[in-house]
Amino acid sequence: MSLKKSFRDMDRNAFIIFLGLMVFFGAFLILPILYVFKGAFFEGGRFTLTYFMLMFTDPFYKESIYNSVVIGVIATLVTSLISIPLAYLMVRYEFPGKRLMQGILLVPLVMPPFVGAIGMKQLFARYGSVNLLLMQLNLIQRPVDWFGGGFWGVILMEALHLYPFLYLNLSASLANIDPTLEEQAENMGSSGFHLFRTVTAPLMLPGYLAGSLIVFIWAFTDLGTPLIFEYRKVVPPIIFSMVKDIWVNPMGYALTVLTLVIAVVFVVISRRYLGRKNYEMMGRGHIVPRTRRVTGWKLPFVYLLLFIMLLGALIPQLSVIITSFADEWFLTVLPTTWTVDYYRTVFTHSVTVTSIINSLKFSLASTSIDIVLGVLIGYLLARKKFPGKDLLDSISMLPLSIPGIVIAFGYVAAFSGTSLDPFIDPTILLILSYSVRRLPYTVRAAFSGFQQTSVSLEEASSSVGANPVRTMVSITGPLIMANVLAGGIISFSAAMMEVSDSMILALREEYYPITKAIYSLNLRLGDGPYVASALGMVGTVLVAGCLLAANKLLGKSMGELFRA
């Protein structure tokens, strides 16, 4: 009966659009994943578990899977140690310069960890700046391997890049806690760490799990950082190495399926855990977080703590800047001479110039698709009733939970040998992969705009004879324009420095985006790492400008697009 009523009350045009969107998601999100499963479980038309048995019996694969999971877990723990005190300090305390500090804390978002890894290798190499400085100070007698062959380097870079995602989620959770709950606990004698452990922390848990999921999945599936540190005993670089042998060695399919399964399992476990508990608060109207002003001797202590954390967070960015300007830097703590020649190379060399043009072209095209689809989906979710509405909401957010390396490998599997063959011309697939993976940003931004716009304005427009299209163009569109542009700008900036899709799908030099060109240049002897750093800084400046523009349009609500 309810199904009949659903079809009777539905908007038929909305349902037709919904079906069209399902075709799009089916072709460019679901189908590639199905191809990966087919390659992993079927050989010669017969079902097989051979590749999975090999995966868990071969010592190399077993160690690589173990390393990947451990990197994800440890990176999440390190990120938690950074983010929890930062979020508590920034939400619960007031002090001069707090707004500036909040902005600086988000700087790591603008540079992918694998770009920062180039500079970090220069600083922490066997005879890099850190070891040389410590030996000059007689604090160590011989060079130290700070990165443990690359393992700890990957973890450090992931943590320093990803802590803003967890910090944003924790800050939102803290700001939404009803202060009366903590006040009641204090009236009953609870205080200090006991109050935090028994009241505040449990109420923060939804935000913590949402942010930690992003951190774990990203660290577990990151491709670029292990490649820069030349740490190959993890799953993503193995999958990357198997792309060109996809028809010869099916292990790439099996490893990709394993990557997806592990990511999904962690998502399901976290949601099941949250579903067992109730985190609702009987807040009375708008919640104002409890804050205290830092004064006296505590103020210098707060600044010292923030300085240490910010310095650690900014070391990757600073190291890349120094590397990009270094002329002579050999067995010295800092470069002895400086130059801008590497930036001249970036804007004159055929590979770098082409990569910048490619990234701009791919990102603009994918962002255009995201804006159109984001507004369309946001409108359907906010304004229409039709069967499958919940499905559309879920599938439009699904790319946030699916690792990019899975989608990219699926594209190679599904579209090789077709008119979209990435081995011939990956342009369309790169645009589509960027678009699918960043679509949630524009959907959330557009949906937020529709929610903040009264439907009565559209009804008034319709009452005087305007059709839905004219109403959207003349009434609703201008009102949600800031949200849509902000979501589009964030999608564009994310696409500009996308790593997994670019590394796997851009198989020929003339189609390299910025990130693939950075990786290629870093392998070049001589000035390779320096030119790669300069190109990385160009990309970072572009992304930073985009995020500043989005922040100007969305203000404080920009953080909503980065929260899970």
Q: For the chain, what is the domain count?
A: 2
286, part of any domain: no
Whether 217 and 240 share a structural domain: yes
Whether 37 and 83 share a structural domain: no
Token pair 């499958």 is found at 388
Measured CA angle at 46 (ends 258, 416), to 5 deg: 65
Measured CA angle at 250 (ends 245, 256), to 5 deg: 100
Contacts within 8 Å (CB) and 24+ apart, 124-133 = 124/153, 127/331, 129/332, 129/333, 129/334, 132/331, 132/332, 132/333, 133/333
391, part of any domain: yes
Q: What is the pLDDT of residue 3?
A: 47
Q: What is the pLDDT of residue 554?
A: 59
Tell me 340's DSSP state: S
Q: Which of 535, 487, 422 is nearest to 32 (CA)?
A: 422
Distance CA 416, CA 406 (A): 15
We report the CATH number of the domain holding residue 258 as 1.10.3720.10
Residue type present at position 128: G
Q: Which string of DSSP letters, residue by residue, matches 213-265?
A: HHHHHHHHH--HHHHHTT--SSHHHHHHHTGGGTTT-THHHHHHHHHHHHHHH
Among 331, 352, 378, give the residue marking a domain's end: 331
Q: What is the pLDDT of residue 1?
A: 44
Whether 249 and 101 share a structural domain: yes
- Beta strands 93-94 and 46-47, pairing class: unpaired
Whether 365 and 443 share a structural domain: yes
Residues in contact with 270: Cβ distance below 8 Å, sequence separation at least 6, in sequence order: 209, 210, 212, 213
460, part of any domain: yes
Q: Along the 564 residues of the chain, how does pLDDT read in single tens digits?
A: 454 554 454 578 888 999 999 999 999 999 999 999 999 999 888 999 999 999 889 999 999 999 999 999 999 999 999 999 998 888 888 888 888 888 788 788 778 888 888 888 888 888 888 888 899 888 888 888 888 788 999 999 999 988 988 898 888 888 877 777 777 777 777 777 777 778 777 888 888 888 888 899 999 999 989 999 989 899 999 999 998 888 878 899 999 999 999 988 888 887 776 655 555 555 544 556 677 888 888 888 888 888 888 888 888 888 899 999 998 888 888 888 999 999 999 999 989 999 999 999 999 999 999 999 999 999 899 888 888 888 999 899 889 888 899 999 999 999 998 999 999 999 999 999 999 999 998 998 888 888 877 777 766 777 777 777 777 777 777 777 877 887 888 888 889 888 999 999 999 999 999 999 999 998 887 888 899 999 999 988 888 887 777 666 655 555 554 554
- What tokens were used for 119? 């500079």
Question: 3-class DSSP state for residue 334?
Answer: coil
Whether 18 and 164 share a structural domain: no
556, part of any domain: yes
Whether 356 and 263 share a structural domain: no
507, part of any domain: yes
- What tokens were used for 57? 């019996």
2, part of any domain: no
Could you tell me the residue range of the domain that residue 213 belongs to?
A: 58-275+296-331
Whether 22 and 83 share a structural domain: no
Whether 94 and 143 share a structural domain: yes
Q: What is the pLDDT of residue 339?
A: 93
- What tokens were used for 542? 């572009």
Whether 320 and 343 share a structural domain: no
Whether 260 and 402 share a structural domain: no
470, part of any domain: yes
CA dihedral 95, 75, 263, 404 (to 10 degrees): 80
Among 331, 350, 374, give the residue marking a domain's end: 331
Among 315, 331, 347, give the residue marking a domain's end: 331
The Cβ of residue 297 has, within 10 Å, a number of other Cβ atoms equal to 7
Q: What is the pLDDT of residue 555?
A: 57
289, part of any domain: no
Q: Where are the beta strands (DSSP E) in 245-363?
A: 292-293, 326-328, 337-338
Distance CA 40, CA 295 (A): 61
Whether 96 and 171 share a structural domain: yes
Whether 395 and 421 share a structural domain: yes
Distance CA 73, CA 70 (A): 5
